[in-house]
Structure 1
Amino acid sequence: MRLSRIAPTALVALSALALASCASDASSETGGDASQGGDANGSVNTDAPLYDALPDDIKDAGQITMAGDTHPPYRTIEADGSFTGIDPDIQAALSEQFGVPFVIETASGLDAMLTGMLSGRYDAFNGPLRTTEEREAEFDTVVWMTTRTSYVYLTEREDELSDPEALCGSRVSGVSGSVSESQLELYAQWCADNGLDEPTFVGLADSNATFLAVNSDRADYAATTQGGAIDLMAADPDKYDYLVQTDEQGAGVDQLAIFMPKESGLAEPMLEAFQALFDNGEYERIMSDWDITDVTVDEPALNPMTSG
């Protein structure tokens, strides 16, 4: 089990570097990138099982370009600029099916990633991002995991923040446009129904920024995925703890997906590639390695919100 990538003590220092990098990349024509998958040289394997199913523009490019940001444990930007995490591991396994490497280009903020896909800069974005009917109108999605929203706080404030009612009327940082923002709205309704003040959402660019906000007392909680909370706790269990939003508080099981532009020709091959990972055990292995088997799904699904 790999749970010791960046300790929270180092996370604060690295976060500033990562955020600065993302901001710089977003304003430039090309962002930083890191190859994931493929062979050691990042070359193309035309004999791979699904190479022939790839769209011609990806074959011509010789790679699948992914939008990405820092969002542990899904993606962590290391000091040398490379990415580690669940996402790169999944991409390496998918690359074995496609025969082309995946390259992550850093981007700042969800809007930049979504518009970047629509403009042709990125071929896909692997979230974690929930699929909705509105999003499936513009993007094809392949669901490969679920999540429940969790709220991270400092253990030194446990006496005042560990009660679920304490979140009502508090400041909650989260990634703007993320599943956490929509889930907090449901939590706020629960607060109101119980005669309590609604929490205030503090929208930020990425996951590391939300944790920094808690560390610097700009927020009381950081809203994140279960995987993000588990990762942070594993790295430094004495510094952080978290609450999990319950069904009573409006939590639902959100379906998280990889997003691709409509009509790109990549959706059906991506579904096949994910299915191959489910069939050969790679999906289960990766999710077990990262200790997030509680958010797995039985099989991948293409556009589940609109396909019915």
Structure 2
Amino acid sequence: MKRLVTAATAAALLALSACGASDDTTDEAAATGGGDAVTAEFSQEAADLLPQSIQDSGTMTWTGAPKPPFYIDGEDGFTGLGPDLQTAMEQVLGVEIEFQPTDGLNSVLLSLQSGRADFFVGGVRATPERQQDFDLVAWLTVGPSYLIAADRADEISTPEDLCGLTVSYEEGSSMQSFVEALAEECGDDTLTPLPLTADGSRLAVDSGRADAYAANESDARYIQLQREGRYEVVVEDTGTSDLTAGMSLKGSGLGEAMTAAFQALIDQGVYQDLMDRWNLGDNAVDEPVLNPAS
């Protein structure tokens, strides 16, 4: 299934947020998700599933790398979907959650394995290999996507429409394999890959050097949310391999508790509100799944 996320959708979400939009020559973020305070109801069922050590201490530690829309590092601390979820989960589980930032996925894994952190929230794929060492809670779906200029939406509405055009991507990222696969599908109608930095890839779309920027869907939607009316996002669903998961150490028991906590947020409507706030409403799951790659 392919879908187009319109600029109008992002604009409607921005209208609900507390931050206004601006358009300046530095092309800084025009807006972020923001919005009303997060409130959720306590779930005894989820709290009872917490490991005894967390129940006794009343605290747990989350970790993650500063990466929008999950964690956005600003002058006043972190904002983003991660902090919003953290606030909601504190209320659902009845514990205090501390956040310990890291500088990348390798550091996240080490923090979980060493016990410095209990749980990770961010953008990692649920894979059988990862499930060997960690319990994964699938709570979001994302896949490869293509950021295009809004005025080209009629021309480019599916990935196949990029055949014969130029697609930029962050060199060394997972998007490279998707661009290469699409180029192979295009055959003689040559697609030209353009490896750049992440910022360079987006700017290439702005300048016309590239027709689309291949990016993780959550990244593309955040860029769209920041810059009202400028971009649209073309997405191709590729199946359960694109489930995004939270992680805890294998066998710790926290995976079961977090699965129940996410379910409580879904049942209360808080989860969907947060997904909508960060322009990820179409990526919400109906229910969280523990270790979906089994």
Structure-1-length-normalised TM-score: 0.68
Deviation digits for residues 166-207 of structure 1, max 9, x if unmatched? 665x5411785xxxx1x54133122123143663656x8xxx
Q: Does 1:164 align with 2:162?
A: yes
Could you tell me which residue of structure 2 aligns to residue 118 of structure 1? 113
Partner of 1:235: 226
1:116 Cα deviation after fit: 2.1
Distance 1:59 1:136 in 2: 25
| Cα contact 1:4–1:234 (8 A) shared by 2 | no
CA contact (8 A) 2:65 2:108 kept: no
Instruction: Indicate conservation of the 8 Å contact 1:278/1:299, yes or no.
Output: yes
Amino acid across the alignment from 1:191: A
Question: Would you say 1:72 and 2:94 are equivalent positions?
Answer: no
Which runs of structure 2 are paired with 1:263-278 in the superposition (5 Å)?
Answer: 263-278=251-266
Picking from 104, 126, 132, the partner of 1:137 is 132
Q: CA RMSD in A?
A: 3.8
Q: Report % sequence identity.
A: 29
Deviation at 1:270, TM superposition (A): 0.9
Counterparts in 2 of 1:38 and 1:56: CA distance versus 1, 3 Å = farther
Q: Indicate the SS of the match to 2:141.
A: strand
C-alpha distance in structure 2 between counterparts of 1:119 and 1:10, whole Å: 45
Cα distance change on mapping 1:56 and 1:264 into 2, 3 Å:
same
1:235 aligned partner, one-letter code: Q
In structure 2, stretches of 5+ residues that fail to align are 1-15, 30-36
Cα 1:175–1:62 shift into 2, 3 Å: farther
Aligned equivalents of 1:70 and 1:261: distance in 2?
21
Name the CA distance, whole Å, in 2 between partners of 1:257 and 1:101. 21
- 1:244 corresponds in structure 2 to 234
Q: Does 1:224 align with 2:225?
A: no
| More RCO (CA 8 Å, sep 6+) | 2
**CA distance in 2: counterparts of 1:259 and 1:79, whole angstroms:** 28
For structure 1, the 5+ residue unaligned runs are 15-35, 40-45, 205-209
Whole-Å Cα distance in 2 between the matches of residues 37 and 64 of structure 1? 19
Q: What residue identity is the alignment partner of 1:274?
A: F
Task: Please state how far the C-alpha of 1:262 moved relative to its aligned partner.
Answer: 0.4
Contact 1:37 1:94 in 2 (8 A): no
Cα separation, partners in 2 of 1:101 and 1:199, compared to 1, 3 Å: farther
TM-score by length of 2: 0.71
Question: How many Å apart are 1:300 and its aligned residue?
Answer: 0.9
SS in 2 for 1:93: helix
Count of residues in Structure 1 that have an aligned counterpart in Structure 2? 259
Name the CA distance, whole Å, in 2 between partners of 1:305 and 1:6.
40
- Match of 2:236, SS state, is coil
Rounded Cα–Cα distance in structure 1 between residues aligned with 2:239 and 2:38: 33
The equivalent residue for 2:292 is 304
Closer/same/farther in 2, CA of residues 7 and 77 from structure 1, 3 Å limit: farther
Alpha-carbon distance in structure 1 between the residues aligned to 2:121 and 2:258: 12
Matched, 1:152 2:152: no
Could you say what secondary structure the match of 1:74 adopts? coil
The one-letter amino acid of 2:276's match is S
Change (3 A) 1:115 1:13: farther
